[in-house]
Structure 1
Amino acid sequence: MAVVEVATGSLGSLWPAIPGIMLLTLLGSAVMPFLRAGRAEEQAERQRLADLEQAARHQNLAAIDAMSGGEFERFIAGLCHRDGFVVQQHNGGAGDLGADVVADAPDGRRIVIQCKRYKPGNPVPSPDIQRFLGTARTIHEADVPVFVTTAWRFTKQSRELGASQQVILIDRDLLSHWNNGISLDKYLPTALPEVGR
């Protein structure tokens, strides 16, 4: 009788739910390995796609590395045009005074771009940024100066100078993203810089 009272007493109200709870616990235990396997497969697939994207970027960069200086400048002008910029000049070389590409952004800002091909392992030194800054705003009236390179990185001094003077520095990695469809607008500041104005 005591067992019946216990069953119909405090446990009696839970009794109908107990088999359901036990079933859910068993199902959860059985399903968890599949969920973990699914997450592992999903993570492996994400990694595979990232590896493919990186391989494609490196392949595209190899084609860029094979360009001459003039071809590289025309290539950068083409990327600007693709992104809706109106290219005013794209013939750098001797006497260009640091402006290989000059373009007007869709919002009207004047973009002056210095294009420098370096071996990927050679960082861009600070004097190159200094020379570009000497003419970008004063002679070419840049609202936004942009320095594009095939090098993997800028030196610490170059990065600090670029940041202090609001120069957009586009290294090899950013160049590959730009080449693969990211618009130049994504790299530009949203407001007109006050430096040199």
Structure 2
Amino acid sequence: MTGSLSSLWPLIPAAVLVAALGALTPILRAGRAERDAESRRLADLERAARHQSLAAMDAMSGSDFERFIAGLCHRDGFTVIQRNGGAGDLGADVVAQAPDGRRVVIQCKRYKPGNPVPGPDLQRFLGTVRAIHNADVPVFVTTAWRFTKQSRELAASQQVVLIDRDLLSRWNNGISLDKYLPAVSPEPRR
């Protein structure tokens, strides 16, 4: 009997380990389920905070919204040169210098979230943004969820950065404006 027990000895720790793992499996699954539930809860909280921030932006006056956008630029390390839009601003609500030295001219437009940004609004902005304001990077920021097809195509052809409601929410929640700007082209060698 002793000989047979000693031949089984190496198998006993393995059997105990298999039994322990079998007992732990439901606990590990429960831990994973709790972790997944916590991840979903945090994502829901983030969405709710974003929605609340967007609701606050919707309640701002046009001037308050422009100052708010200037504040986001400042937070991201941009030097704000001008932050007063309004009648007669010729499409430049915020003018800032990016950390890399480029001149960024921002048009801020508050729309009802369901109203898309129409092409003519972008056309008016393009009429002055480079010719009068000397923009290296024109940026159009809106509280609307989307831009019309015409405005998106126009923006793409003229290298205008479009920031819709979703991107604005992300910018407000910590994504830096420079992440939305095009990369700096290297200077041509002479």
Q: Structure 2 length normalisation: TM-score?
A: 0.87
Stretches of 4+ moved more than 4 A in 1?
none
Q: CA deviation at 1:192?
A: 4.3
1:105 aligned to 95, 98, 111, which one? Answer: 98
Matches within 5 A, 1:140-159: 140-159=133-152
The equivalent of 2:87 in structure 1 is 94
1:152-197: CA deviations, max 9, x gaps? 1222332333233221111112212222222212211221499xxx
Pick the structure with greater CA Rg.
1
1:93-130: CA deviations, max 9, x gaps? 22222111111111110000000000011111222222
The separation in 2 between residues aligned to 1:158 and 1:25, in whole angstroms, is 63
Equivalent residue of 1:111, what SS?
strand
Q: Structure 1 length normalisation: TM-score?
A: 0.84
Q: Aligned pair 1:51/2:21, yes or no?
A: no
Total equivalences in the alignment:
183
The separation in 2 between residues aligned to 1:96 and 1:25, in whole angstroms, is 74
The equivalent of 2:78 in structure 1 is 85
The equivalent of 1:41 in structure 2 is 34
The equivalent of 1:170 in structure 2 is 163
2:19 aligned to 18, 22, 26, which one? Answer: 26
The separation in 2 between residues aligned to 1:132 and 1:193, in whole angstroms, is 27
The separation in 2 between residues aligned to 1:186 and 1:17, in whole angstroms, is 59
Greater shift after overlay, 99-108 or 163-172?
Answer: 163-172
1:40-68: CA deviations, max 9, x gaps? 11111011111111111111211111111
Structure 2 residues not aligned, in runs of 5+: none
Q: CA deviation at 1:25?
A: 2.0
The separation in 2 between residues aligned to 1:161 and 1:32, in whole angstroms, is 57
Structure 1 residues not aligned, in runs of 5+: none
Does the C-alpha gap of structure 1 residues 128 and 193 become closer, same or farther in structure 2, counting only changes over 3 Å? Answer: farther
1:143–1:193 contact (8 Å) kept in structure 2: no
Counterpart of 1:156, as a letter, is K
Counterpart of 2:83, as a letter, is H
Q: Aligned pair 1:186/2:179, yes or no?
A: yes
1:111–1:142 contact (8 Å) kept in structure 2: yes
Q: How large is the Cα RMSD of the aligned pairs?
A: 2.1
